[in-house]
């Protein structure tokens, strides 16, 4: 079993407060989960209205497929209207000891 991990550092320019940010983040999480069959969570900058660090995971048995799928998600994020991609990192790890 392999686990693909994607970290996305985002700037949410339209968020004036935490309520705005959570609305935008919820929308992005739902869209990514639905279109890419991934698990998504906000993992840092929880109390900062215009920044978010998102963790995205995907499980599979082919490292190239995981990297390709997560790279496609990165390309989608680059085109998001309400979030600017500041940085990202993709990593594939083994789920076995």
Residues 4-46 have pLDDT tens digits of: 999 999 999 888 899 999 999 999 999 998 888 899 999 999 9
CATH code of domain 2-94: 3.30.70.1120
List the one residue out of 59, 24, 69 whose CA is nearest residue 42.
24
Domain extents in the chain: 2-94
Percent of the chain with pLDDT over 70: 99
Q: What is the model's pTM?
A: 0.89
Q: Which two tokens stand for residue 87?
A: 């940085």
96 with 46: CB under 8 angstroms?
no
């Amino acid at each position: 079993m392999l686990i693909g991990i994607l970290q996305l550092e985002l700037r949410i320019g339209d968020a004036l407060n935490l309520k705005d940010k959570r609305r935008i983040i919820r929308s992005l999480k739902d869209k990514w989960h639905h279109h890419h069959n991934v698990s998504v969570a906000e993992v840092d900058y929880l109390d900062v209205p215009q920044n978010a660090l998102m963790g995205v995971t995907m499980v599979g048995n082919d490292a190239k497929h995981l990297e390709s799928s997560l790279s496609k998600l990165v390309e989608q994020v680059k085109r998001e209207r309400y979030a600017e991609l500041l940085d990202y990192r993709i990593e594939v790890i083994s789920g076995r000891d």
